[in-house]
Structure 1
Amino acid sequence: MAGGEFFLLRVKAVPNAKKTQFAGTLGGAVKIKVQAPPEGGRANAELAAFVAGTLALPSRNVRVAAGETSRNKILRVEGCARERAEAAWGFPVPDAGRGNG
């Protein structure tokens, strides 16, 4: 989606959770519990699919832009404005940098 709207989402990922879900905000990041283990990219894939699903986007529209092997990540969410995410999620989305949305 080159040139389309996007925003950067700072995430604190918590793998091996009982259920994949939002868990509030923490230090300028959205905390997301992920059921998958942090092995072989499984937690990252589940994290991207979860975020995409909550915004009715294809999974390919959400990718890890930074922090591939860290619990602290920045996701690039394409095809969606920050305001739409805030409306869908019901909480303010901390600014993680420059985006077109």
Structure 2
Amino acid sequence: MARITVKVHPRARRSAVTGRFGEAYKLDLAAPPVEGKANEECVRFVAEIAGVPRACVRIVTGATSRLKLVEVDGITQEELEKRLRT
């Protein structure tokens, strides 16, 4: 299991990892922060990067914040961070 902190920027042109913000990874998300759509896109996008099903990704803290702690099952911490950097 891996845990990462992400800072999300909703309503972006497309979903992408755009760098770092301190210890957090910056994610541009192509979804508005309305009715949980940005959270759904965050889970979908992190699952795509990690190569795991969406059911293996959950937002632990920060559901109503731009700064979120995301937990990913089925991948190591090192492997997830490597995939986020590339």
Fold-level match, TM-score > 0.5? yes
> Shift of residue 86 of structure 1?
2.8
Equivalent pairs counted in the alignment come to 86
Counterpart for residue 57 of structure 2: 62
Unaligned runs of 5+ in 2: none
- Which structure shows the bigger proportion of residues in helix conformation? 2
- Structure of larger gyration radius: 1
Counterpart-to-counterpart distance in 1, 2:26 and 2:6: 6
Distance apart, 1:79 and its partner CA: 1.0
**Which contiguous aligned blocks of 4+ residues in structure 1 show a shift greater than 4 angstroms?**
none
Q: TM-score, normalised by structure 1?
A: 0.80
Q: CA deviation at 1:88?
A: 2.4
RMSD: 1.1
Secondary structure at the aligned position of 2:81 is classed as helix
Structure 1 position 24 matched with structure 2 position 19: yes
Cα distance in 2 for partners of 1:46, 1:81 equals 22
* CA deviation after TM superposition for structure 1 residue 50, in Å: 0.5
